[in-house]
A and B are shown apart, each in its own frame.
Chain A
């Protein structure tokens, strides 16, 4: 069962990730640029919502059964009443357009799974997920970058070979498998961390302390960090090796710069820019990894909600989540683009006055 959940979660996240090509944009400037960005974003949201809608409607899950339960004694007439109330038997385009109309009025509908307004569920869940993703994003970026620099500088050394092997293994290891491994070692075997959830079971919400939350966050954050860092390590390492071969490093050497000076004067600057861009454009992977990590650790974030919504045929919630995650990934890519044109002088400044 858990496997099925994972797969659904991953498929959902990857489907969304696939759309990020649309967000890949050239430099953004002026009103025309902003209008273009907004148009692309709306197009992305439209496509993602249509795709999600088609998928969930055609999934072999009857939202009615998952609502009332398979063992329900409800009469067929009553079932039909509910189906009519929900509009389940209406033609698909009509249902979709009605949903769009409601969205336009700010109504995201009710979640069948949680029996609460979708917007509320997403807001609550996203807060949890955001904490998880933000920490893992920052750690994986910083640690991955540092490890990549170190490995590249000592290319062929013990650390380099070890970290390269580690990253390649990680790249091919499924996130949920790594999560289970970490869970069984640190929670089950060593007992250092709770098995799951975001707070101790049986504790009132008001009594949950910050340290409780941090304690519960550590393992999911570690899992997601380790999973996300691999790409950064390999990328930074590769970039550094490339730069080390460049003419300007040769010239810097010829001018008597020591290795430390090479690193601090040239290498950090020239590798940091592409690394930051990579980290922003990796929001889609981050989101996918988050969904899997949350499922393994039963962390009540947007990832577990996605899995639950998909398994229950919860169209409103799934559509809402798909939209939010698409926006999330889109904003990451947009930030990467803007950042590049702001930070890189070759894109920011005029060619020459001569």
Chain B
């Protein structure tokens, strides 16, 4: 068990990082507690180990334009990341970067014209459409953005139980998230924003999932409710689940995540401990991550020049090259992710 932990050296250090450096006081407590829990009763040393690994993942869409001419649209390209047990990994990136497609690819619910290439490993096993069908809704779950993802004509109780849960589990989930039993009989339109959010989380955890993919789970929530949601995520991570938090909100990622993956034009350009992001741009690796930090209102507030390349006109090499000040000829070639200072970066010249 110890051997496994030390083998995943990076993982261990990151976990510690995430535990101690969490910003808000409330979670700090849980963080400290969770660190203890991880050391104490991590089953088989699994906490901190990768549960989901994406290797060179691509999502392409074939579109028909004007008659029979077919266009390939590469929405996700050569994306690699890993989600570990007991950890919240935030995937941040601007809107329209294709972050939600990552969730779709993991769950196997992309539209029929989507083509997924590369490899997804779940618990060391390659995810196939058949195994995705088996796992989704049980071991791998999605927490969606809003109450719009609930059937408008189905009562909340039945909805939280879902097709794979039962009444007993639903009652427990209601209790766990402080939902009034009367709310069982309510329809989605009757739920307040906070209740709806807790319902969506309750619906996700009813099957005791291993991997939780949360797609913009705090969209439209005010500060207090967003923090409450994040506390729930932390609890779930402490319970041993791996959480993939997809968001465009950097502050949210900073507040909640153990590690942060920066998503740009369909790929992950950098993965780093959240502490690095909190330290500022000097601790970061990729020029885009640095620019992202600079663009924050609390910092220089300087926008990045240029725009993200559209998915039908991706440059051959580095996707950020067009907007990068440090661009060199080699940037037009293939760029593989490499390990750097306890993180991972997709840049030839990052230091």
Contact = CB atoms under 8 A, between A and B. Distances in A.
A250 B190 contact: no
Contact of B153 (A250, A255, A273, A354): A273
Nearest to B188: A248
Interface in B167-226: 182, 186-187, 189-192, 195, 203
Interface residues of A, number: 26
Contacts of A107: none
Contacts of B109: 250, 253-254
Contacts of B138: 256
A266 interface: yes
Interface string B146-176: 1011111110000000111000000000000
B141 interface: yes
A256 B136 contact: yes
A273 to B, nearest CB: 7
Interface in A126-182: none
B153 A350 contact: no
A265 B190 contact: no
A352 interface: yes
Nearest to A260: B163
B266 interface: no
Contacts of A94: none
Interface residues of B, number: 30
Interface in A217-270: 247-248, 250-258, 261, 265-266, 269-270
A44 to B, nearest CB: 32
Given A248-B149, A248-B150, A352 B164 contact: no
B144 A346 contact: no
B133 interface: yes
A353 B136 CA distance: 33
Interface string B130-148: 0001011110011010101
Contacts of B189: 345-346, 351
B164 A256 contact: yes
A349 B135 CA distance: 36
Contact of B141 (A254, A257, A344): A254
Interface in A306-354: 344-346, 349-354
Given A256-B137, A256-B138, A265-B163, A251 B150 contact: yes
A248 B164 CA distance: 16
A252 B161 CA distance: 12
A265 to B, nearest CB: 6
A248 B195 contact: no
B59 interface: no
Contacts of B182: 353
Nearest to B144: A251
Contact of A248 (B135, B137, B152, B163): B152
Contact of B192 (A250, A257, A273, A352): A352
A346 to B, nearest CB: 5
A222 B91 CA distance: 59
A22 B223 CA distance: 49
Contact of B191 (A269, A345, A352): A352
B141 A354 contact: no
A50 B285 CA distance: 83
Contacts of A352: 186, 190-192
Nearest to B164: A256
A270 B144 contact: no
B190 A255 contact: no
A275 to B, nearest CB: 13
Given A251-B149, A252-B151, A269-B153, A257 B163 contact: yes
A251 B152 contact: no
A258 B186 CA distance: 25
A82 to B, nearest CB: 63
Contacts of A255: 136-137, 141-142, 162-164, 203
Contacts of B257: none
Nearest to A272: B153
A258 B137 CA distance: 11
A349 B191 CA distance: 12
Q: 6 closest pairs, A vs B, by CB?
A: A256-B137, A251-B149, A255-B137, A254-B142, A354-B192, A352-B190
10 contacts: A248-B148, A250-B144, A251-B149, A255-B164, A257-B163, A273-B153, A349-B190, A352-B190, A352-B192, A353-B182
Interface of B: 107, 109, 133, 135-138, 141-142, 144, 146, 148-154, 162-164, 182, 186-187, 189-192, 195, 203
Given A247-B149, A251-B144, 4 more contacts: A250-B149, A258-B163, A265-B163, A344-B153
Interface of A: 247-248, 250-258, 261, 265-266, 269-270, 273, 344-346, 349-354
